[in-house]
Structure 1
Amino acid sequence: MSTPQAAMSADTGAHATHSNQFALLTQRRFGPFFWVQFLGAGNDNVFKFAFTVLVTYQLQVQWLPASMAGLVIGALFILPFLLFSATSGQLADKYPKEVLIRFVKNLEIAIMLLAGWGFMQQNVPVLLGCVFLMGLHSTLFGPVKFAYLPQHLNERELTGGNGMVEMGTFVAILLGNVAGGLLIALPLVGPSYVAAACLLLALLGRVLAQAVPVSPATDPALRINWNPFTETWRNLKLAHGNVVVFRSLLGISWMWFFGAVFLANFPAFARDTLHGNEQVASLLLVVFSVGIGVGALLCEILSRRHVEIGLVPMGAIGMTVFSVDLYFASRGLPPHTVSLTLGQFLGEAAHWRVLADLALLSLFAGIYSVPMYALIQMRSQPTHRARIIAANNILNALFMIASSLLAGALLSAGFSISELFLIIGLANAVVAFYIFMLVPEYLLRFVAWIASRFVYRFKVTGDLNIPTEGAAVLVCNHVSFVDAVLLMAASPRPIRFVMDHRIFKVPVLGWLFKLAKAIPVAPQKEDPAAYEAAFRESAQVLREGDLLGIFPEGAITKDGTLQPFKGGIMKILETAQADGVQDVKVIPMALTNLWGSYFSRIELSGGQPTAMVKPFRRGLFNRVGLNVGDAVPAERVTPEGLRERVAGLMG
């Protein structure tokens, strides 16, 4: 009898070669889940925005002034994220996710029945209670949503799947706000139409939830700690246990801080700076939401279906550049004595630059966030992945509250909204630089991504042979000074390289390889201590289940031919085996068409072979490739046998 896990794996494997991320919508492992989360996000915003409009424009509530309504509703919705995220993370690890999804949708139906009565009776306290309950509904669903994806999508699908979810969320928010505003504005029947729409969306979501496939519990023996305060602290400590994951959580939370400043200030920005009416404020929201969605969808194309965290620095750069330009674009706008309609606003050319800046900064925010979510899902331990996501939700809520306080303080101090956007854009550059220095893997992947797409046109064949988990040694021919950079671009995981100690003296490249924690090795006769230390550190890399990269020729080829392999590979495997490391795979690889490029050695006019001279000797965007062969078990490895395999891959 097959287990649920086996069935799930078979389903994932059977569909691993989909044409693009949109094809996932046709598959049961993703389609029903996507529409469930889409309808849930849409329903949240239909309800919240309709309620906000109701108490702002239609009802006179003495104890809830119209100017405070949006703030109170937003605070009530986010409060459960602070109180119950830790508990929801435990539930998502302990119980099957399809069971929790159906429970959450049942809860949504009950809340919407109560909210419908509140709308019909125009009972503000009941509706405020429903805001809190819908926040609880979203809190319960958050860890399930992001922990579900890595159970059903493989590494090559994870970026595309996250991009679809990110895009779907922002489109749902946009459509929900528009629908809620339009429905509640209908004379006489508005509240009843909103009540019916919210209930219908909840019911449709519950029907689709029934089609969500089996998603087994990852830690069924977990004992629930119902104390939200101690569990919140425990979750944050759990997340902090993996430095890369924790700092990625901080990076995502910063993105929410950044985005919250813009979203919260669009109405005032449209009115006071752009001199537009409510339609102009809505246009800003539309442009921002569409930009995020497009950026999220672009991630799969830009990453070539890998979890490519090299996109994160590019996203951060774009966020800062266009935030700063938005400040300059909005400074010299002509004054108007009356509010501009949407048509009048679009009729002035100066406003198009504002819209372009807003679209591009949000597009780059989408590019920034999706790889971080995918990295967290891939690097977190499956047994407590949902609790890591819950920790992220807690941090997101805290950062969004902090953004409101900071923005309010700056505006109260006399800064304009344009100046606020400028400050946040510049702060983004500082925060991003700080994160990338703390986690240099982001910067290294960015350099590798640039090199493999703009310096060279890099094509990888057989990349599925690079393992996404477990210890492995990547063995490659040595053609140029950037071989390691290109291998970084091809691998879905970080690689620790064993490299000749002299390469660390090369300007820029030496700094990059130190940042990558490459392992320097010197000849035994020259420095016996460094020689032995290199093999001990290499064995430690394999013991930790990571990837180790070596170039067994020992030096860059001087004539383009494959040199004899030295015995270092055998010593690495023997040292690892002596340390008790089992099941190490050895992956043969071959770089092709790289000889003769700027970073490879080439003989010039009778002198010694020299690299990095005559930069355009082969023109721009050279076609180079990497062929990856099948894994070889460690016990069958010989230097001569590996050399034959690499030679065969060189063609």
Structure 2
Amino acid sequence: MTRWRLIASVPLLLIAGYFALLFAAEPAEKNQPTAFAIGIAVGFLASLLQRHLQRLYALLPLGSAFMAVALVGRNFVPESVIPVAVLGVSVGITLLPIHRGLFFALPQKFRFGAFACLYAAVIALLLPLVWLLPRDDRRLESIVCVAISTISLVVSTCVFLREIVEQLVEIIIWPLYRVRAFGPGLHKVPLQGPAIVVANHAAWLDPIWLAKVLPCRLTPMMTSRFFDKPLIGWVVRVLAHAIRVPDTGFRREAPEIQQALQRLREGHIVMIFP
């Protein structure tokens, strides 16, 4: 139900942005708002292919990259509608991640007002940007917009690097394995912790499969045999923030247990393989 509420709120932004652009555009550019709106619709429909709520954030850097490319192309061929359509795609694929972030970050009583302010801010910033930038100097417009999109690309890549890597791994593994989740308790899996996921360990790719089918971000506990390997260790330590479990026998002290308890207190979801 939450996903469909997010989807239902997007057309308001599409309609408002389209009429704002159409109103501000010059007569010779009346076809560009239409191309922009079509691009937004295409990008938004493409974002629906990602069913994982957490990995939606990987679309934010992708949208920023598309935006930078589209703005550079618009500077070279300002009369073409293709850069405008690509710009619309870049906006469309980022709508759902932004809405999801606002939806879960705000209490329920503030969500409607937050979305209304978001729409109003888009319109309030869009019209002055169109009117104030010199119409005969596309270079200034491109420099400003490309700088903003580049900063957005760098920041979003650093913040959502884990989601980007998981998305790339999913694309590589998807043709080889058809992974699906089912069961009576699947809808009870929380999006946020504290919680513990206890899973059977039958294959090396079990953590990747679980990260695919569960809608939450997992903090795995991993034995030192894999944690200390050069490449795997960097991935699980830097991206997954995994907890190292020494591959030894009985011990009187287990600091990894204290680390797991601390992660649970911080609201994370810890995954263990007994």
Would you say the 8 A contact 1:170–1:290 is kept in 2? no
Partner of 1:536: 258
Q: Does 1:286 align with 2:130?
A: no
Partner of 1:519: 243
Which of 318, 335, 339 matches 2:66? 318
Would you say the 8 A contact 1:498–1:518 is kept in 2? yes
1:25-424 superposed matches below 5 A = 153-154=1-2, 158=3, 160-171=4-15, 173-174=17-18, 266-267=25-26, 278=27, 280-300=28-48, 302-304=49-51, 306=53, 308-330=56-78, 354-382=80-108, 384-385=110-111, 396=121, 400=125, 404=129, 408=133, 411=134, 416-418=137-139, 420-424=141-145
Could you tell me how far apart the structure 1 residues matched to 2:101 and 2:260 are? 24
Partner of 1:489: 212
**C-alpha distance after superposition, 1:162-192 (max 9, x if no partner):** 33432343235536887xx8xxxxxxxxxxx
Partner of 1:432: 153
Alpha-carbon spacing, 1:504–1:386, altered in 2? closer, same or farther (3 Å): farther
Partner of 1:466: 189
Based on CA coordinates, which of the two structures has the bigger radius of gyration? 1
Q: Which runs of 5+ in 1 are unaligned?
A: 1-152, 182-263, 268-277, 331-350, 553-651
Would you say the 8 A contact 1:313–1:443 is kept in 2? no
Alpha-carbon spacing, 1:537–1:426, altered in 2? closer, same or farther (3 Å): same
Identity %: 20
Would you say the 8 A contact 2:224–2:244 is kept in 1? yes
**C-alpha distance after superposition, 1:477-535 (max 9, x if no partner):** 2523x543443333322211112345455455433321332222223569x79x73321
Q: What amino acid is aligned across from residue 400 of structure 1 in structure 2? A: L
Quick one: higher RCO (CA 8 Å, sep 6+), 1 or 2? 2
Could you tell me how far apart the structure 1 residues matched to 2:180 and 2:215 are? 12
Alpha-carbon spacing, 1:379–1:478, altered in 2? closer, same or farther (3 Å): farther
Would you say the 8 A contact 1:451–1:486 is kept in 2? no
Alpha-carbon spacing, 1:388–1:416, altered in 2? closer, same or farther (3 Å): same
Q: Which runs of 5+ in 2 are unaligned?
A: none
How far did 1:284 drift?
Answer: 0.7
How far did 1:304 drift?
Answer: 2.3
**C-alpha distance after superposition, 1:434-471 (max 9, x if no partner):** 2432x3xx221222122223443342222535333553
**C-alpha distance after superposition, 1:587-630 (max 9, x if no partner):** xxxxxxxxxxxxxxxxxxxxxxxxxxxxxxxxxxxxxxxxxxxx
Could you tell me how far apart the structure 1 residues matched to 2:18 and 2:110 are? 32
Alpha-carbon spacing, 1:380–1:168, altered in 2? closer, same or farther (3 Å): closer
Normalising by the residue count of structure 2, what TM-score does the alignment of the two structures yield? 0.76
Secondary structure of the 2:260 match is helix
Could you tell me how far apart the structure 2 residues matched to 1:176 and 1:427 are? 21
Would you say the 8 A contact 1:323–1:361 is kept in 2? yes
Which of 434, 444, 456 matches 2:162? 444
Q: Does 1:548 align with 2:273?
A: no
